[in-house]
Amino acid sequence: GIALVFYNHFIAPDSRVPRYLDLGYYHEQRGVPFTHSSNLVHAVNMALRRGDWQDHFTEIQRLNTLLRTELEKAGLQIFAGQDVSSPAVLSIILPDELSSLEIGGRLEERGFLLSFRSGYLVERNLMQICLMGDISERQCRSLLAVFLDLLVAF
C-alpha cells in the first residue's frame, strides 16, 4: 500500500529499516527517491475522494456486530472484545480440533479470502475476517453460511 506520512523534525537515515520505509533517507534525498506505483497513487486518490467516511465506518461496525453475534452463537470465540478491538478485524479462535490452515484453504477454494497464513495466526490457530474495502451484508452472510457449514463438516 501507500500512506501519507507527515513529520516536523529531522530523522536520520537508518540502514536497519528497508529503504522504502526509511524516512531519514527520504529527508536526505530532499523528496521522494523512488517512483511510486500509479495504481497505488490512484487508490489513495479514490480513497480521499470518498465523501462518506462516517457512513462507511458505521457500516463496518454494523457488519462486525453481525458477524461477531453469529459466530458467537455458533460457539466460536472472538479473540478480543468488541470494546477493545478494531471493528474492521475479527480474530476468530478455532477449537483445537480444527486447523485454521485447513479451514482457511477450504474457504479460499469457495472464493472467501480471510487472513490465516501469517505465522502468529497459525501458531494461535486464529483466522481473521477483515472488513476493509466495500463489503456488503450479503457477502458477510454468504461467508457465515459457508464458514459454519465447513465447521460442521469437520
Question: What pLDDT does residue 4 have?
Answer: 78
pTM of the model: 0.74
Report the SS3 class of residue 104: helix
Report mean pLDDT in 10-residue bins for the chain, 154 residues: 79 88 88 83 84 89 97 95 93 95 96 95 96 93 96 84
Question: DSSP 3-state helix, strand, coil percentages of the chain (rounded to 5)?
Answer: 50, 10, 45
Q: For strand 89-93 and strand 77-78, is the pairing parallel, antiparallel, or unpaired?
A: antiparallel
133: amino acid identity, one letter = G
